[in-house]
Structure 1
Amino acid sequence: MSADPAAAEREARKALEKTPNDARALLNLGKALRAQGRDAEAAESERKSIAASTRDARHRRVAEAMRAGKTIEANQLLQRLVEENGEDVLALMLFGSQASKGRQYELADQLLSRAVALAPADPNARFAMADHQVRTKRFEDALATLAALPDEMRKSEGAQSLEAECLGELGRVKEQLVLLRDIAASSANPLQYNLRIGHALRTLGRQEEAGKAYRAVIAQIPAEGTSWWSLANLKTTKFTEADIAAMRAGLDHPTAPVENRIRLNFALGKAYEDRKDAANAFRHYDEGNRLRRSIAPYDPGAISTWVDACIATFTAEFFAGLSQGGDPSNQPIFVIGMQRSGSTLVEQILASHPKVEGTSELNELRFIVEAIHQQKPVALEKAMAALSPDERRQFGARYLETTAIHRRTDRPRFTDKMPNNWLHVALIRSILPNARVIDVRRNPMDCCFSNWKQLYARGLDHSNALETMGQFYADYVRLMRHYDAALPGFVHRVIYEELVADVESETRRLLDYLGLEFDPACLQFHSTERPVLTISAGQVREPINRKGIDAWHPFERYLEPLKAALGPVIQEWRI
């Protein structure tokens, strides 16, 4: 195409006289018009280019393959289309979306960015980019992309639904709730939004209203498992005989999807546990976990191997050599450990201090881990150990920059309560040497049993079996014990049972470690108003209590596989 926009326009129009529906010529015309400032005409030409592509036989084959679930075939066809014509907007868009769904995020970025650049006025390309940005946890970017959509599409149900998801993930839950209610009011299928409204209300601590939202769905679809499990997950619902009968009927439905049966089994487990019927409770929890394993198999060897590698690599000598590098900020407070260990309680106590902002379980450290792995094509622990002082400083600064989107106040310190960051204590020390790390630990029998009977939305597949849950906990203790020796004083440990027994003394000890003065507000943590995005959202709004201590005892006869997996950690978990 000519470098002169007017000449390029003439060339494109001449080509279109011969072939009016030539997608490439239409796109070239759009680029030429846009270069002349004729944006409206350019947008129309870009739209016609994409429409012409949909009529192409090869694009139709892609659509047929995708409809048939033949992902590999569809991706191969799309790859060939993009290789032959790097300006095929439709192929770029579809291939980018497929790459994003397949977790090929860097490739998806390249493809979708190219599609948006070629057809900046095409709403579908921008929507595909926003969807990808949500999938990669770039929620602020996704909001900006959605805001750039034309009014009609920006106000569409799909775009508003995606916007609501972003708001929730960014902790702007009150705004999310307003938007979800608006969408539900005009949607042809409001029930799906009642579920999300319930989740938002639960996050805000409005448990009773959340329960009503879930019940509204059940009233229309009595066997809907997500609503039953969401009710159970409030931890305050008292299920009636009629509730139990409805859930059991849902299990007996001959065409019930496995995901629905999983949720119903976990909800029934909670219902029977509340009735102190350990046998039936265990039976349903066990069946729910068996079904989970059938669709989400887990290999515990990967974590054990990683722990071995960290112990061998990140020695006392390694840390002694980190005299320089990393970002010097002391803002981050990492709260780590197992899920269901009391970490949300510790975060809520800290968030009640006037100098600490509670955020949520942030993914930013994981993204840095992935970036390091891509940057250095060697074993991950070796890539981390090989970071130069300047690289460590850059990654520390990147962490602070990317976590800033989760900040809502000007408080000088903030929490990052991603429990599995225990896997990357060495990286935290390397890139943020003045950060603080709090390891919240709970009795392994209570902690592991609580995880095993908790249905997580995604990931955490180690909790699907008592054996793998026990091994995961044992590996965690093994690695943290190593860091206690190799990096003495860097990690502060809070024992959940000791915190419950003497909250003031343990809170004072915690604040001393952080270099903060004691504030009485920390003892009134249950009165602190803030969105809590974890499953403990309701529990941290109650005064301190012993409800979760020794909850495993009624089930002891069933827990021998857990005891065997934990081994000596059962007795030695505090050290």
Structure 2
Amino acid sequence: MLSDANDLYRSALNRFQRKDFADAITLVEQALQQDPQLVNGWRLLADSHAAQGRLERAIECLQRAQQYAAVQTNKWVSVSLHLTEILLRAGRHGEARQQLDHLPLADIQHVQPLSQAAYLYSLCEAHRESRDLFERALKLSPENPQLLFNCAAANRAMGDLARAETQYDQLIAIRHEDFEAYKNRSDLRRQSPQRNHIAELQRLSAQRDLPALGASQIQFALAKELEDLQEYGNSFAALADACRLRRSGIRYQVDKDLQRLTDIASAYDKAFMRDCRERRDGDMDAGRGEGIIFILGMPRTGTTLVDRILCAADGVFSAGEPGTFARELTAMVQAAGDGAAAGDGSVDFVQRSRQLDFAELGRRYQRELRSRPGTENARVIIDKNPMNYLYIGLIRLALPRARIVHLRRNAMDSCYAILKTQFRNAYPFSYDQSELGRYYLGYRRLMEHWQRLLPGAIFDLHYEQLVEDLAGESRRLFEYCGLPWTESVLDFHRQEKQGTATASAAQVRQPVYRSSVGKWKNYREQLQPLAEILHKGGIEIE
């Protein structure tokens, strides 16, 4: 019988590898009927369900696999890591972190499980634990290029920038074609005439047949280092090449995003919000959102800086940029539509979102956020996903007591900072001046809509005012957030309570500086297409 089960398992694995998931499920279920303790069978069944988007079913299968794997064995560790990965894909970060915390990691002396656990910890925003495990794995395999890359990223997140640079140097010496490492290394510090990588980057950029993504990463690094040395003309020439190369690999239509913003404003209008508020008057759970702060706006406007300032206070925990609100919203809309997968940018999705039980949406969001280890003693949790600005109307309905902090920055500085940043997967409008300008106008229109609709509900914090008067503006921020003020928060850059893996990870390890204010003016001529779009849209440029 067991040989029959193994034969069925091998056949199911063959179907899975051919992406015939339905047949794979049928065959592996037959195998499990013959041998319910076939751990790899449960894992294959989980992967087959996950491949078809049935993550909850996949989680159930892996929980069965855990039961049959002997506790504390290598197989149990492997299954637990597998389960953690699927929990993260399902947005269940709290349970994922609990799985990791229960692993006997202190006893493990093998690179693969250590590095996998380290990576999964990083997805849980547990950067200290991630860094420590990556460093342990690196000691076991000191010239492993992937470990060097991940160790450097983890040290960057935790603020050990010198260690990160050393590891990027070691990696580049071993694997010259790791183009992302060059880009990340350039971002770690301000380059100087005596100490930079410009000649090395120029040699690389002159090579032919580089892949577009790799070539763009080299050009982004070169643009950054040339800007540090105030070679602005050469810097922007490299940046223009970087953006062209990066944009060439992205399928994106800004008109679809702009229509989405218009649809949101139309659906969540004054009449709808008034009706919702009237229906909510008797809501006994109107305390939803107490102790939650949303920091939002466009990227590269100071959201990470504000996050770090608030996290310097006792009892404040940052969840990073979790995407939890959008994920819970999408799950509820799809469930209400009998599982029909309407994209979250479609008119149908926006309209269906108006029919939700907003109180339940708020409870689900809070439950997920509060399930994360590290929040047990937190009075306040921060969600700093900038794109939550899309959902401000829904946030007010689902979490009426949540604080909403909107970061504002000079439009040209904001857009230039976005243009020169290579984002891994987000913000596809970033690499073309026309698309960036048009998207920025759409963002401003939606924010103005929320401000008119919800007077007093949104705290505007201006980046320029914050860096000019850190103490005064931080006091205003703390007062709005209901947090006790202490002068020690002004040393936020020294705190090591939590790491951050955002594009600003290196900058927020320094005291506040003003050199980014007005930086776009070094490129007035080159940024003229962007300036014209913003000016025609009614945006003040200076």
TM over 0.5: yes
Provide the secondary structure at the position in 2 that maps to 1:86.
Answer: helix
User: Which structure carries more relative contact order (alpha carbon 8 Å, separation 6+)?
Assistant: 2
- Structure 2 residue identity aligned to 1:267: A
1:187 to 141, 147, 151: 141
- Structure 2 residue identity aligned to 1:281: S
Deviates more, 1:164-173 or 1:79-88: 79-88
8 Å CA contact retained: 2:158, 2:500? yes
8 Å CA contact retained: 1:140, 1:166? no
Residue of structure 1 in register with 2:415 after alignment: 448
Residue of structure 1 in register with 2:37 after alignment: none
1:202 CA drift (Å) = 1.5
Residue of structure 1 in register with 2:528 after alignment: 560
Provide the secondary structure at the position in 2 that maps to 1:341.
Answer: coil
CA distance in structure 1 between the partners assigned to 2:522 and 2:41 by the alignment:
58
Change (3 A) 1:504 1:255: same
Residues 196-234 of structure 1: CA distance to partner in whole angstroms, max 9, x if unpaired? 211222222222222112111122234431221111222
1:286 to 229, 240, 246: 240
Residue of structure 1 in register with 2:3 after alignment: 21
Give the structure-2-normalised TM-score: 0.85
Please tell me whether residue 432 in structure 1 is matched to residue 386 in structure 2. Answer: no
Residue of structure 1 in register with 2:332 after alignment: 372
8 Å CA contact retained: 2:320, 2:385? yes
CA distance in structure 1 between the partners assigned to 2:10 and 2:162 by the alignment:
52
8 Å CA contact retained: 1:449, 1:466? no
1:134 CA drift (Å) = 3.5
Residues 495-523 of structure 1: CA distance to partner in whole angstroms, max 9, x if unpaired? 11122222233223223322344332333
8 Å CA contact retained: 1:232, 1:271? yes
- Structure 1 residue identity aligned to 2:84: A
- Structure 2 residue identity aligned to 1:200: A
1:362 CA drift (Å) = 2.2
8 Å CA contact retained: 2:459, 2:480? yes
Residue of structure 2 in register with 1:385 after alignment: 354
1:366 CA drift (Å) = 1.8
Residue of structure 2 in register with 1:548 after alignment: 516
Provide the secondary structure at the position in 1 that maps to 2:68.
Answer: coil
1:537 CA drift (Å) = 2.3
Residue of structure 1 in register with 2:495 after alignment: 528
Please tell me whether residue 395 in structure 1 is matched to residue 361 in structure 2. Answer: yes
1:328 to 272, 275, 287: 287
CA distance in structure 1 between the partners assigned to 2:534 and 2:44 by the alignment:
47
1:59 CA drift (Å) = 4.5
CA distance in structure 1 between the partners assigned to 2:462 and 2:104 by the alignment:
53
Residue of structure 1 in register with 2:86 after alignment: 132
Residues 41-73 of structure 1: CA distance to partner in whole angstroms, max 9, x if unpaired? xxxxxxxx3xx34654x744654xxxxxxxxxx
Provide the secondary structure at the position in 1 that maps to 2:503.
Answer: coil
Q: Within 5 A, what are the aligned runs for 1:206-245?
A: 206-238=160-192, 243-245=197-199
Provide the secondary structure at the position in 2 that maps to 1:492.
Answer: strand
Residues 397-435 of structure 1: CA distance to partner in whole angstroms, max 9, x if unpaired? 221221120534624222111111001101110110011
Residue of structure 1 in register with 2:222 after alignment: 268
CA distance in structure 2 between the partners assigned to 1:204 and 1:408 by the alignment:
19
Change (3 A) 1:267 1:85: closer
Change (3 A) 1:180 1:553: same
Change (3 A) 1:348 1:130: closer
Query: Among the aligned pairs, what percent are the same residue?
Result: 24
- Structure 1 residue identity aligned to 2:268: F
8 Å CA contact retained: 2:294, 2:383? yes
Residue of structure 2 in register with 1:45 after alignment: none
Deviates more, 1:465-474 or 1:538-547: 538-547
Residue of structure 1 in register with 2:450 after alignment: 483
8 Å CA contact retained: 1:372, 1:383? no
CA distance in structure 1 between the partners assigned to 2:100 and 2:475 by the alignment:
45
Provide the secondary structure at the position in 2 that maps to 1:415.
Answer: strand
- Structure 1 residue identity aligned to 2:358: R
Residue of structure 1 in register with 2:60 after alignment: 113
Give the structure-1-normalised TM-score: 0.80
1:445 CA drift (Å) = 0.7
CA distance in structure 1 between the partners assigned to 2:335 and 2:252 by the alignment:
27
8 Å CA contact retained: 2:412, 2:541? no
The count of corresponding residues between Structure 1 and Structure 2 is: 511
CA distance in structure 2 between the partners assigned to 1:425 and 1:512 by the alignment:
21
CA distance in structure 1 between the partners assigned to 2:48 and 2:205 by the alignment:
34
8 Å CA contact retained: 2:291, 2:402? yes
Provide the aligned C-alpha RMSD in A: 3.1
Deviates more, 1:475-484 or 1:535-544: 535-544
- Structure 1 residue identity aligned to 2:60: S
Residues 94-150 of structure 1: CA distance to partner in whole angstroms, max 9, x if unpaired? 5753664x6x53x24324633653785364665543333344443443455567889
Q: Within 5 A, what are the aligned runs for 1:39-438?
A: 49=6, 52-53=7-8, 55-56=10-11, 59-60=13-14, 62-63=16-17, 74-75=18-19, 77-83=20-26, 86-88=29-31, 93-94=43-44, 96-97=46-47, 100=50, 104-105=52-53, 107-111=54-58, 113-114=60-61, 117=64, 120-121=67-68, 123=75, 127-143=81-97, 156-187=110-141, 190-238=144-192, 243-254=197-208, 256-321=210-275, 322-323=277-278, 324=280, 325=283, 328-329=287-288, 330-354=290-314, 356-377=316-337, 379-387=348-356, 391-404=357-370, 405=372, 407-408=374-375, 410-438=377-405
Residues 228-256 of structure 1: CA distance to partner in whole angstroms, max 9, x if unpaired? 11112224344768832322333344453
- Structure 2 residue identity aligned to 1:508: R
Provide the secondary structure at the position in 1 that maps to 2:197.
Answer: helix
Deviates more, 1:486-495 or 1:377-386: 377-386
1:571 CA drift (Å) = 3.1
